[in-house]
Amino acid sequence: MQLWIQGHFVERLTFDDNLTLFFNGHHELVLWAPFSLTSPPVGGRGIDHDDIDPAQVIPEQRPIFTMLGHRCDVAECDDHGAVHLEFGDGSSIDLPTDPDRPSWELFAKRRGYATCERTDEVRIIEHHHASS
């Protein structure tokens, strides 16, 4: 399934006990589970793949999050809840599900709420507004 953030731009990132990506249009994606971050080639350096624990991002890792200001070109969730994101700068995130705890949450103003509570348990609540 396509996630509501596809086509939106990353406006801000926060690192607390999770990684939260804030997108234009009042969309927020919260990553709880460890994921793989692919960074684009920079300054003669090749593509990097880093395993990231969003609860323990250290200051030295923050510069590899290069998607700030870029569009999310691909935002997909498979039937098990795993997420794949691709950004306009060439970076990507692959987030597998966790069998025991939530992996991610998506808040989208005027759209709804979605979460992967554990492997194979994706819950989606869509807002339906009457047209005027």
Please tell me the predicted confidence (pLDDT) of residue 132. 44
Indicate if the pLDDT at residue 69 is higher than 50: yes
Q: Which residues contact 103 (CB under 8 A, 6 or more apart)?
A: 31, 32, 33, 81, 82, 83, 95, 96, 97, 116, 118
Please tell me the predicted confidence (pLDDT) of residue 8. 98
Averaged pLDDT, 24-33: 97
pLDDT-wise least confident of 7-16, 38-47, 70-79: 38-47
Please tell me the predicted confidence (pLDDT) of residue 48. 83
Tokens of 98: 């966790």
Rounded-to-integer distance, Cα 132 and Cα 112, Å: 19
Indicate if the pLDDT at residue 110 is higher than 90: no
Task: Record the pTM.
Answer: 0.91
Please tell me the predicted confidence (pLDDT) of residue 25. 95
Please tell me the predicted confidence (pLDDT) of residue 26. 96
Please tell me the predicted confidence (pLDDT) of residue 45. 65
Indicate if the pLDDT at residue 14 is higher than 90: yes
Averaged pLDDT, 19-33: 97
| DSSP class of 50 | E
The string of DSSP codes covering 91-106 is -EEEE---SSS--EEE
Neighbours of 108 (CB within 10 A): 20
